[in-house]
Structure 1
C-alpha cells in the first residue's frame, strides 16, 4: 500500500505484477523483481523513512516510487538541469536528520552560461505529501564552468559529522585540471549543509577540496565499519578503480593510470605508479564503467555482510567485492544474464539490494534470496 496519494505518469508504471526473474550466485539463488519501470535514464536512489523511494531521472525529474511500485508525477521544485550528454539530474542524498527537517540534496549539471555548465548541488525541503521541494536553493557550484557534455560525476554522501562529500569529474576536456588545487575540476569536495567549505585538504588547496586527481566518479559510499569514504572512478580505456579516499591525498589522474586513452595512446607514457600518488584497491581492465556503490550490512544476505557492491554500465553486471579491511579478497560478477546497465545500487530498508537500470525505459529492481 502506498503512503500518501500518488499519481502515476502515463509512461511510468508499477511492474510488481511481472513474474520475477531468477539468477545464481556462489552463495544464493537470487530472485530479481521489477518494482517499477518507465523511468527515463534513472540515476540516483534514496529511501524515505516510510519505505518509499526517491529516484532521479537524468532529464531532470525527481520521482517518488510507492511501496506498490507506482511512480508519482514529477516532484515540483526540483532544480532546472542542463540535460546534455552525461549531464542532468544525478545524485541524491537525504539529510541525516531528514525525519526532523525533510531536507533533500541533489547533484546536477547546471547551465552556467550560453554554452558552459558545471556540477552543482541543490537543497530543498520535501513537503509532507512528497509532491514538492520547497525553499530550494543551490548551495554549491563546481568552479570553474566549462563547455562540456561529459564527466560531471556525481554522487553525494554524508559523513558521520553531517558534512557532505561531492564527487565531480574532470569534464573530459580538462584532464590536466584534476591536478590543479586552485579549482574543483576532478576533485572531491566536502561542504557543510549550507555549502560552506569543510575540505580538510592541503593548506594551499581551495578550502572545500578533500582530494585531487580524480577522473569521473559515479560511485560513492561511506564504509560503515570505518566511516571513511570509498569511491569508484571511471578510467579511460581500462583502469576503472575502487578507492578509499582520504583527506589531502592525490589519486593520480592523469599522471598515472591503469588504462589507456581511447585512441590507444598510453596515459603519461604508460606510468602506472608514482610515489605520493594513491593506488586503487582493485581496478578493472577492460572497463566495466562502475556506477553506484553500497556496503551491505543487512540480514537477508548474511554471507555478504561487509561486502561492497558496485553497479556496472558497460559491464552490464552487479559486482560483489569481498573485503578483509581495506584489502580486496575476491569478486563475483552477478546478474550478467539480464543484459542491463546498472546505474545505481543501494541496500533497501528491507535488507534487499535495489538497483536502477540505465535506459530510456529504466527499471527499479529488487534483488533478494529466492522466496524472500
Structure 2
C-alpha cells in the first residue's frame, strides 16, 4: 500500500494532467483548410435531421423529425441506439425540431431542451442526460399554437443566459400580429427560468414573423433570424428575409413584405426569389476568411449562403454547394471550428439520394484573423455604377450609316455584358463591387472588319467568363480559354456578319443575366 503522501501526490498529478489535457483541447487552434473549403460526409442514414447541438465533451445531439435524438461522436460515429425516442405529432412540418444544451451542462445541470409538437400544441421540454439517455425532467413552455405548416422550431441560449425560441404563424398570418397569441414571434425565457419545475409564460421579444427557423447571435452583435417568405397560398412566392432582431420590433408580416417595410422593421437581407432559409450559424472562431460571416442553409434553394456583414447590414452574399447535396437545413459550428450541416431530402419535399439524409462537415478556408482575434469589420463595397464616358456621346454622333449605327449598338450591348459579368464574378467570389467606366470607342465609328472583330472578341470573352463562373459553382474544372483563330482577313464586313455579331452580343448578355439571377437568388436589401 502506498503511503498517504504518495497517494495524494498521484491524485494531484492525475488531476493536473486532466486539467492540462482539457486546457490543451480548449485552446487547440480551429481546423482550417489551406486548399479552400473542404466538404466531407460525417454520417449517413438519418431521417430528416432537424437540428444539431454540441455537448461539452464534443459529441453532438442531432434531432430527427420523426421523434428521435441521435448521438454523433466527435469522430463522426453515429451511436446505434437513440438517446431518446419521443411521441410527437409529426404531420406536416411538425415533429421533433430544435435542440439546445444547458449552458451549465458541465457544472451540475446536465439538461437538454427539445422543441416539439405534441397533442396539437408546441412544447419546449427539459430532459436530463445521463448514461447516453434522455429522460423527461419537465415541460418548460407549452400552449404555443401548432399547425401543419409554419411551426418554426429553433431553440437557442443567448449570450445573456436566456432561452430564446422562434415560433411560426401556423399558416394564419394574423396570429403574427396578435398580442394574444404566441405564434409568429421570437420568445424569451429569463435566465434560470428554463429550470423552473412548472411551465413558464415566455416574454415576447419581436412580432410579425412568418416562419423564423434560423437563429444565431452575431459575435458581439444582435440576434439574427431567417424568416421564410410567402410560398403561394399566402402570397406570391419569394421575399425570404434575414432579420436583425430588436427587442420590441415588429417585422411586418403579413402587413408588408419586400425591402421597404415602411414603419415596420426592414430586413437586413432579402431574397426575392425563395431559397427557403432554414438554418443560421455564425463563424465565431478565428483563422478563416469566413470568420465573422453568417452561414444560411437553403431548402428550396438547395445551397449554403455565406453572408458578409458590416454591422447589421449584409454587403456580400456568396452561394456555396449549389444543388450539390440537395436540401440543406440543420447547421452548427462544432467545437473544433468545423461547420456541420444536415441535409433534408427525406422530408417529403426533396429527392432522396443514396445514404440520405446525411451530416456534412465543412472545414472553412484558412486566412483572415488568427484564432482568438476579433472578427474583422468588412469594408463597405461601392455600388456597381456605370460612369458615363463623355466621349461615348460624341462617338454616337459619328455613326451615320445604318450598319454603323447597328455596329455601335452591338458594341454597347457587348460592353454592357462585360460590365455585368464583372459584377457577377465579384458577387460569386464575395468580393467588393467597384464602379466601372462605360467605354465606347471615341474614334469615328466606321463599319469595318476590324470593328466587327473587336465586338466579337468582347462577346467571346464574356461567354467564356460566364462559363468559368458556372463551372466554379458546379465544382467543375473551368473550360479552357478560346483560341483566337479569326483575324481581320477572315471577317467579311457586311450585313450578314453584322447580324451574327448582334445575335452573339445579345446571347452573351442574356447568359450573364441568367447567371446573375441564379447566383443572387434575388437582390439584397
User: Which band: TM-score by shorter chain?
Assistant: 0.7 to 0.9
In the alignment, is residue 229 of structure 1 matched against residue 223 of structure 2? yes
What is the aligned partner in structure 2 of residue 103 from structure 1?
111
Work out the CA distance in 1 between the residues paired with 2:40 and 2:143. 38
Q: CA deviation at 1:150?
A: 0.7
Q: Identify the match of residue 363 of structure 1 among 325, 340, 358.
A: 358
* 2:285 is the counterpart of 1:298: yes
**Divergent runs of 4+, >3 A:** 73-79
Shift of 1:210: 1.3
Match of residue 75, structure 2, among 68, 71, 96: 68
CA distance in 1, matches of 2:76, 2:141: 33
Select the structure of larger CA radius of gyration.
2
- TM-fit CA distance, 1:142: 3.8
Alpha-carbon contact 2:169-2:210 (below 8 Å) kept = yes
Contact kept? 1:320, 1:334, Cα under 8 Å: yes
**1-structure distance, mates of 2:293, 2:167:** 25
Superposed CA deviations along residues 192-246 of structure 1, whole A, max 9, x for unmatched, are 31353452xxxxxxxxx111111001100122212x2110000011011001112
CA shift for structure 1 position 74: 4.6
1:234/1:369 CA distance change after superposition, 3 Å: closer
Q: Is the 8 A contact 1:32 1:368 kept in 2?
A: yes
If asked which structure has higher relative contact order (CA below 8 Å, sep 6+), I would say 1
Q: Is the 8 A contact 1:352 1:368 kept in 2?
A: yes
Distance 1:234 1:347, change over 3 A: same
Q: Is the CA contact 1:122–1:138 (under 8 Å) kept in the aligned structure 2? A: yes
Choose which of 59, 72, 77 in structure 2 pairs with 1:52: 59
Q: Gapped runs of 5+ residues in structure 1? A: 1-24, 112-116, 200-208, 260-271
Does the 8 A contact of 2:88 with 2:118 survive in 1? Answer: yes
What is the aligned-residue RMSD (CA, Å)? 2.2
Question: Distance between the aligned counterparts of 1:64 and 1:30, measured in 2?
Answer: 26
1:36 and 1:359, CA in 2 relative to 1: closer, same or farther beyond 3 A? same
Q: Kindly state the Cα deviation for residue 170 of structure 1 after the two structures are TM-superposed.
A: 0.4
- By percentage of residues, which structure has more strand? 1
Q: 2:261 aligns with which of 262, 273, 276?
A: 273
Q: Give the Cα separation in 1 of the matches to 2:364 and 2:223.
A: 28
The residue number in structure 1 matching 2:326 is 340
> Is 1:168 aligned to 2:171, yes or no?
no
1:316 and 1:337, CA in 2 relative to 1: closer, same or farther beyond 3 A? closer
Partner residue in 1 for 2:100 = 93
Cα distance change of structure 1 residues 76 and 36 upon mapping to structure 2, 3 Å threshold: closer
Aligned residue for 1:250? 250
| Cα distance in 1 for residues equivalent to 2:151 and 2:49 | 16
| Structure 2 residue 274 is matched with structure 1 residue 287 | yes
Secondary structure in 1 matching 2:300: coil
Matched, 1:219 2:214: yes
Q: Quote the Cα distance in structure 1 between the aligned partners of 2:213 and 2:301.
A: 14
Contact 1:43 1:343 (8 Å CA) reproduced: yes
Cα 1:240–1:28 shift into 2, 3 Å: farther
1:121 aligns with 2:152: no
Aligned counterpart, 1:185: 183
Change (3 A) 1:370 1:332: closer
Match of 1:266 in 2: none
How much has 1:77 moved relative to structure 2? 4.7
Residue 316 of structure 1: CA displacement?
0.6
1:343, distance to aligned residue in structure 2 (A) = 0.5
Deviation for aligned residue 1:75: 3.5
Alignment of 1:128-143 (within 5 A): 129-130=131-132, 132-143=133-144
Q: Work out whether 1:81 is the aligned partner of 2:62.
A: no
Q: CA deviation at 1:41?
A: 0.5
Alignment partner of 1:196 is 2:200: yes
1:79/1:163 Cα in 2 relative to 1: closer, same or farther (>3 Å)?
farther
Matching of residue 353 in structure 1 with residue 339 in structure 2: yes
Distance in 1 separating the partners of 2:302 and 2:296: 11
TM value normalised by structure 2: 0.57
Gaps in structure 2 of 5+ consecutive residues:
1-32, 231-236, 347-355, 367-525
Deviation by residue 1:129-181 (Cα, 9 ceiling, x = unmatched): 21x213422211244x45x3111001111122321111010001x21111001
Rounded to whole Å, the distance in 2 between the matches of 1:92 and 1:245 is 21
C-alpha displacement of 1:188: 1.2
The change in CA–CA distance for 1:182 and 1:298 in structure 2 (over 3 A counts) is same
Indicate conservation of the 8 Å contact 2:43/2:358, yes or no. Answer: yes
Aligned residue for 1:177, secondary structure, equals helix
Q: Determine whether 1:325 maps to 2:311.
A: yes
Cα distance in 2 for residues equivalent to 1:312 and 1:367: 16
Matched residues in 1 for 2:136 and 2:150: separation?
29
Question: Structure 1 residues 350, 88: closer, same or farther in 2, change over 3 A?
Answer: same
Q: Is the 8 A contact 1:229 1:245 kept in 2?
A: yes
> Displacement, 1:104?
0.5
What is the SS of the residue equivalent to 1:38? Answer: coil
SS of the counterpart of 1:178? helix
- Cα distance in structure 2, aligned partners of 1:355 and 1:107: 19
